[in-house]
Chain A
Amino acid sequence: MNCHQAYEALQGLIDNSLNKKELVEIKTHVRNCPACKAEYRALKMVAEGLDRMPLYETSPGFNKEVFRRLGLEYKPQRRPAWQSLAMAAGLSLSVFWLTALAAALPTLLMGAKAYKLTQWLHHPELILPSFQSAILKSGLAAYQTLGFAAKVAGWLLKSSALPTQMAVAGLLALVLVFITMRFFRPQTSL
Chain B
Amino acid sequence: MGVDDIPLAEIAGLAQDARCEALQMVHRARASHIGSCFSAADILACLYGHVLRIRPAQPDWPDRDRFILSKGHAAAILYATLALKGFFPRAWLDGYCANGQPLGGHAIAAGVPGVEVSTGSLGHGLPIGLGMALGLRRADASHPKVANHPRVYVMLSDGECDEGSVWEAALLAGARRIDNLVAIVDYNKIQSFGRVADIIDLEPFGAKWAAFGWQVIEVDGHDHGAVCAALRLAGGAGRPSVLIAHTVKGKGVRYMEDQLLWHYRSPTADELRQALRELRS
A pairs with B: no
Interface residues of A (CB under 8 A from B): none
